[in-house]
């Protein structure tokens, strides 16, 4: 059942806190949270690992299920240098996406000195179509939009 055609999730990770956790934990922490491909891509870069952790948390929020329900390894951030990162879901994460009728995910990542942030948008079938009310508003706005007078180089902000 599709409860919502559009879902969003956002998460922010403190890079220094994650660095401390990685320094004080065994390699099992790294292996239980990031796939081998993610670890290879990040090559030990804590900001990159933090951004990927934020992406996993944001994806869980967009799916409507938390860490206790979704294995972090079931959400993988795939990246190719010079291209936007994408999310690959498997097992529990893929099952929750199918249950929610989510057929598309968009991901945005960023990191600075102290924080990493991820934003996930999940779309279901028909999420892009307009409701009748949205169509009416769009038509009312575009039909009444001021146009340029012939020969003019400016568009008036207010029609006379």
Which segments are annotated as binding site for Mg(2+)?
Answer: 11, 57
For the annotated binding site, the residues are 11, 57
Cα first-last separation, the chain: 50
Q: Which is nearest to 10 in space by CA: 50, 46, 47, 56? A: 56
Distance CA 56, CA 71 (A): 9
What sections of the chain are H helices per DSSP? 15-24, 27-33, 36-42, 46-63, 91-99, 132-143
Which two three-digit tokens encode residue 148?
A: 């340029």
Q: CA separation (Å) from 30 to 66, 71, 137?
A: 19, 13, 50
């Amino acid at each position: 059942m599709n409860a919502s055609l559009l879902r969003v999730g956002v998460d922010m990770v403190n890079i220094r806190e994650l660095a401390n956790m990685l320094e004080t934990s065994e390699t099992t922490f790294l292996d239980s949270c990031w796939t081998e491909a993610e670890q290879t891509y990040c090559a030990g870069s804590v900001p990159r690992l933090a951004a990927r952790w934020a992406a996993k948390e944001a994806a869980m929020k967009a799916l409507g299920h938390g860490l206790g329900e979704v294995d972090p390894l079931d959400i993988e951030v795939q990246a190719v240098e010079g291209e936007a990162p994408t999310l690959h879901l498997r097992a529990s994460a893929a099952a929750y996406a199918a249950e929610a009728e989510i057929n598309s995910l968009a991901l945005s990542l960023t990191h600075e000195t102290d924080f990493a942030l991820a934003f996930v948008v999940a779309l279901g079938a028909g999420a892009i179509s307009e409701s009748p009310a949205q169509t009416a508003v769009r038509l009312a706005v575009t039909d009444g939009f001021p146009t340029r007078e012939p020969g003019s180089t400016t568009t008036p902000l207010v029609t006379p």
